[in-house]
A and B are shown apart, each in its own frame.
Chain A
Amino acid sequence: MSGLISVRDLRVSFGDREVVRGVDIAVAPGETLALVGESGSGKSVTARALLGLTGPGAAVTASQLDIDGRDLRAASEREWRGVRGSRVGLVSQDALVSLDPLRPIGREIADTLRIHTRLSPSARTERVLEVLREVGMPDPEVRIAQRAGELSGGQRQRALIASALALRPPLLVADEPTTALDVTVQARILDLLGSVTANGTGLVLISHDLAVVARVADRIAVMSDGRIVETGTVDEVLGAARAQQTRRLIAAIPSGRPRGSRLRPVDAAGVIETRPRPTAERTVREETDPTSPILDVRGVSKAYPRRGTEPLVAVDDVSLSIRPGETLGLVGESGSGKSTLARIALALTAPDRGEVVVDGESWSTLRESKRRARRHLMGAIYQDALSSFDPRLTTGQILADALLVAGVRDGGGRRARELLDSVGLPSAVLARRPARLSGGQRQRVSIARALATSPRLLLCDEPVSALDVGVQATVLDLLDDLQREHGLALLFISHDLGVVRHMSDRIAVMHAGRLVETGDAEAVFAAPQHPYTQLLLEATPTLPQSGR
């Protein structure tokens, strides 16, 4: 096989645990291979093995490991250093971590040139500018002297791609290159990666999201449990998935899935039940008046003073309301003000103007000591569940504390076990600290804690954006179940339009502090009125219709 990479029977183990168990990979010039799988499937370790970056604790073996015509099976660290950068470039997930915050990005990019070539400093600068232009960096002459902190997320990712491309390596490995980015930025970075391969560069793209890779990949290899379970062209894999793991990955993608349909198989046989359950099945609490809103945000504004310039208007005259038992999806990109709005709704930040009313009574204007008695009405879960737990406490103590607020003395831990059960966690979790749980389990614990006070409204601030699609699907299904069971209203905040569409009855779109569009979820998606909503919708990765 003649190609950029040809790897046969690659195995990587840490101690006695084998995490990559016999993987074959081949990439031809100009080809994009997507390695897709849930976290723990071994895809990142496989990609790192292609760069000799598996770390000191790993044992890597292969019957063939050729990269750009060189056999690297027994390569020393020194030989790998010659390969990295010049033959294989790496684009990692978090550009803010990967770039030195104290150095201008131009110097950062020039590093590879300095190490691998004999170019003069001025020639290096020339090349850096050239490659910055190639990756579509706006104003490269200005950016070259700026530090990572002065660039936007998309620009940082472009700088990182530029540093990987500086030596024109024939192969690029991109590990979740767009996971941390807003959808519109993600779309542009994906386009950029697509154009890089046009001149013959091979690309290995690692992602947990099939919808993302469908856009740029030529071939897809689905990994599960250290093996490639399915491989083929995009149409083959998405159109006629053979492996069960692939079908699960496809089913887990929420975008375009009707409201109420499950993202995860219900029965043990793994048959994916995609029939939406009618909304009318949902429980409505008797004591509630379904017409009066549980949360009413009235003309709220909030500005933060800035030194030297005029104040930053984070939220600008926003009004919205949520009726009992319904889900309002709030979408917006980072910096759109949706998190500030969430803090105002939770009365953690006081609005400059306007008022928040909860269940028909004043909320934002109350003194905190008065409001505390009504706080049980509103629960919240956050993006970073771990930091919302006291690191000293076990899950059991955390739930007991929350129950105490609700006035329940939970001596034997019976209520705590019930709460865990309702979020699908075994009671063994009670004795463990959240730091020892997986990301999905942590989010379930935080949901259980929020349910302890029997809230009427659950505010979810980016609850699944730190989770990969598989875990995301189970958490979204759980939220939907809980809403049906308890008649919960949800304020679901996310930058991911696909997730919001799947979860919401109504949708509100925020842009630069203003609410630019609100309406019935399906109506907004079918015929978006505001140009910004149209832009967002266009940028959201979806599977081709054949994949359905």
Chain B
Amino acid sequence: MTDLSFRAAEQQAPVVDEQRADDRASGRGAGSRRRFRIGAGEALAGAYLIAAVVAAVAPGLLSPVDPLAISPSQAFSPPSLADPAVTLLGTDESGRSILSRIIHGAGPSLLIGASATAIGLLLGAALGLFAGLSGRVVDFAVNRLLEVLFALPGLLLALFLIVIVGPGVVTTTLAVGLSTAPGYARIIRGQVLAIRRSGYIEAATVLGVSPVRRLIRHMLPNTAGPLLALGTLGLGQAIVWASALSYLGLGAVPPSPEWGAMLAAGRIYLTTAWWMSVMPGLAIVLTAMSATALGRGVQRRVRAL
């Protein structure tokens, strides 16, 4: 019965209208290949983040001098090329190299940011999936809880936790993770609900696919894509928040080189030695920007898939 003529009927024509409709539907075609190419901004952001990760993993490779080495004669040197290993980005009140301290600070800062994001995403995903997959009552309850959490500013929530548990790097990470979780939960719940109502879940039900398999085969993978994109976007935010807590003296404690703590240490010398705060500040801003730029790129590509 395989009859060649009707196959030919559909294949012969340069199916212009239909093909174009297909391209729109799938977001592909000539235009999408362009979208998958890496732009200059993304390349820069990527290069910066790679450098930051290298600094985090093996700071000795990049940093010219010991970040804790004191050199009172060089205290408060402005950024200059005089002794680039030490003074390229200036020195602090004890003559320590800001450049070295930023490089050595990448580790704790990125670790706090990444762990906080992971905690937030995991908690948010669990809560969002739970709400989206359960019945109406559970969904209602979770939603009200999320609304209450939304009403409290995230930083306040974090401070609250620190007050109870006491300051420190671990607490900061936990606090930031917890306070970002409601946002993730809400987005994931929406995604889960949309997929639950989708045509392909219905088709799977009609076919006789079991609920567990529908969850594993369709719901989870289709939620995971946006989740990944959200995570990269959230990384920048988490780093900024962790730095903010350190700045308030609730995270990493000096003299350990953490960007937020360095920012705080420079605050009293702001009028005389601006580089002490501005340089670590720049590191934070650039990291957050790069992570966000890459996050957007990931999100766009995930959507086009």
Contacts and interface: CB of A to CB of B under 8 A. Distances in A.
Is B a genuine binding partner of A? Answer: yes
A121 to B, nearest CB: 38
A264 B202 contact: no
Interface in B216-239: 217-218, 221-222
Contacts of B164: none
Interface string B24-39: 0110100000000000
Residue from A264, A268, A436 with most neighbouring chain B CB atoms (10 Å): A436
Interface in A269-285: 270
Contacts of A376: 208
A474 B21 CA distance: 20
Interface stretch (A130-138, A385-393, A536-544): A385-393
B155 to A, nearest CB: 37
Interface string A201-228: 0000000000000000000000001000
A389 B203 contact: yes
A392 B221 contact: yes
B40 interface: no
A516 interface: no
Nearest to B201: A390
Given A392-B222, A436-B28, A474 B10 contact: yes
Contact of A384 (B7, B16, B199): B199
Contact of B5 (A267, A401, A438, A453): A267
Contacts of A424: 2-3, 6-7
A132 to B, nearest CB: 31
Highest count of chain A CB atoms <10 Å: which of B1, B28, B208? B208
B210 interface: yes
A332 interface: no
Contacts of B17: 39-40, 44
Interface residues of B, number: 39
Given A40-B16, A439-B18, A382 B2 contact: no
B199 A453 contact: no
A418 to B, nearest CB: 10
A265 B12 CA distance: 15
A298 interface: no
A391 B305 contact: yes
A14 to B, nearest CB: 8
A422 B204 CA distance: 21
A433 B22 CA distance: 11
Contact of B208 (A39, A453, A478): A453
A421 B2 contact: yes
B205 interface: yes
Contact of B26 (A264, A401, A436): A436
Contacts of B205: 348
Contacts of A401: 204, 207, 209, 217
A309 B15 CA distance: 48
Interface in A391-428: 391-392, 401-402, 405, 421-422, 424-426
Contacts of A422: 1-2
A291 to B, nearest CB: 27
A17 interface: yes
A101 B185 CA distance: 32
A437 B22 contact: yes
Contacts of A379: 206-207
B208 A438 contact: no
Nearest to B205: A348
A375 B206 contact: yes
Contact of A435 (B5, B28, B207): B28
Given A380-B206, A392-B305, A436-B28, A264 B200 contact: no
B14 interface: yes
A270 B4 CA distance: 11
B82 interface: no
B200 A438 contact: no
B151 interface: no
Contact of B199 (A378, A382, A478): A382
A388 B199 contact: yes
Contacts of B203: 380, 382, 388-389, 446, 449
A74 interface: no
Nearest to B30: A15
Nearest to A390: B200
A294 interface: no
Contact of A38 (B13, B206, B218, B305): B13
B252 to A, nearest CB: 41
A40 B17 CA distance: 5
A330 interface: no
B22 A435 contact: yes
B9 interface: yes
A42 interface: yes
B206 A438 contact: no
A40 B15 contact: yes
A452 B204 CA distance: 12
Contacts of B4: 268
Interface in B159-208: 198-200, 202-208
19 contacts: A39-B16, A45-B16, A270-B5, A348-B205, A372-B208, A373-B208, A375-B206, A388-B199, A388-B200, A388-B202, A388-B203, A389-B199, A390-B200, A390-B222, A421-B2, A424-B3, A436-B28, A438-B10, A474-B10
